[in-house]
Structure 1
Amino acid sequence: MLLDLPQRKLQRLKNYDYSQNGAYFVTICTQKQLQLFGKIENKILVLNNAGRMVLDKFAQIPEFYPNISVDKFVVMPNHLHAILMIQRIRTAQGPFPTMQLSDYIHRFKVLTTKLYIEGVRKDSYPPFDKKVWQKSYHDHIIRNEVEYRKIWEYIAINPLKWELDKYYSE
């Protein structure tokens, strides 16, 4: 007997090469939108130890992957918004191997989950339910300068508009 399970919606743009040069707006959410990374008090973002770890590891992405830069990002209590720029690098031997956007996100989630579990064991981070991060992530290919500026501004003011954010919860 076949079960009539819901079909998972494709998250990525069909037939698009997510390793090509470009700017990408990314949102990564915690599982069940738990506020694991801090809080917002009087419109001021206050990251806890876990939030600072996530912030540090996200900022370090270009150190490990020279073909990606982080233009703007913010760690919120239960999600992260970022603009990532992928730039293929050519060397004397040819093009530097470039991973897909999803590979960078996956590696970030694996590393931060490992560090988060260590922090929970040391009673430094709040406990979580089975997974730190939601299964997938949201992305948007930034197509022009106008979009880039709007998204950059959105990320910059996100803590100020926390109550209006679709990821907001008390």
Structure 2
Amino acid sequence: MKQYNPDIHHRHSIRLQGYDYSQEGLYFITMCVQNRKCIFGEINNGEMILNDNGKIIEKTWLDLPNHNPHIELNIFCIMPNHIHAVIEITAHVGAGSKPAQNIPFPNHSLSEIVRQFKTFSSRHINQLSCKQGHPVWQRNYYEHIIRNEISYNNIYWYIMNNPQKWEDDKLYWK
């Protein structure tokens, strides 16, 4: 395994310094496929047609609240080589008024939720293609803290219209 060497590797965090990404709020995230390969399906007449990999992505995304009861999924869009989504981290609540069997679920941060999603979806896609440990996702992800209704509405419409604007998308890749 390669060791991190600050003289060679110049990785800088793109996260907001000092911000607690486990606190309540709305977050817009974009996750890209390794090398921008189009492995989730294709755009046909402005509509995303999911292939088997894309269906795995959708199922894995929708399953996240079962592992993280403190989140709510908002709008999301799977594109051929990336996914856009809005996720809400809410106040921790258990099953009913108490956590099941008095075992509390941890309130995971946004980065842990993204890690779970990437790990679970990669594992299932690799099983489908009989490739073990093959990277599906590009390292890291883009995030934006949604601070007001105007920002939310702009992001909502961007996600909704993304398939119709695929060829103009900066992540468009044939």
Q: How does 1:1-170 map to 2 (within 5 A)?
A: 4-89=7-92, 97-121=106-130, 130-170=134-174
Question: Aligned partners of 1:82, 1:20: CA distance in 2, in Å?
Answer: 18
CA 1:6–1:97 in structure 2 vs 1: closer, same or farther (change >3 Å)?
closer
How far 1:130 sits from its partner (Å)? Answer: 3.7
Normalised TM-score (structure 1): 0.88
Question: Aligned partners of 1:152, 1:3: CA distance in 2, in Å?
Answer: 38
% identity of equivalent residues: 38
Report the 3-state secondary structure (helix = DSSP H, G, I; strand = E; otherwise coil) of the residue aligned with 1:28: strand
Q: Deviations over 1:129-167 (max 9, x none)?
A: 941001100000001011001101111110000011110
Question: Aligned partners of 1:98, 1:64: CA distance in 2, in Å?
Answer: 10
Question: Aligned partners of 2:116, 2:48: CA distance in 1, in Å?
Answer: 26
Structure 1 unaligned blocks of 5 or more:
122-126
> Are the counterparts in 2 of residues 71 and 84 from structure 1 also a CA contact under 8 Å?
yes
Deviates more, 1:39-48 or 1:77-86: 39-48
Report the 3-state secondary structure (helix = DSSP H, G, I; strand = E; otherwise coil) of the residue aligned with 1:60: helix
RMSD: 2.2
> Are the counterparts in 2 of residues 88 and 96 from structure 1 also a CA contact under 8 Å?
no
Question: Aligned partners of 1:62, 1:72: CA distance in 2, in Å?
Answer: 14
Question: Aligned partners of 1:58, 1:96: CA distance in 2, in Å?
Answer: 18
> Are the counterparts in 2 of residues 44 and 159 from structure 1 also a CA contact under 8 Å?
yes
Question: Aligned partners of 2:54, 2:29: CA distance in 1, in Å?
Answer: 17
Q: Alignment length, in residue pairs? A: 163
Report the 3-state secondary structure (helix = DSSP H, G, I; strand = E; otherwise coil) of the residue aligned with 1:52: helix
How far 1:63 sits from its partner (Å)? Answer: 2.3
How far 1:10 sits from its partner (Å)? Answer: 1.3
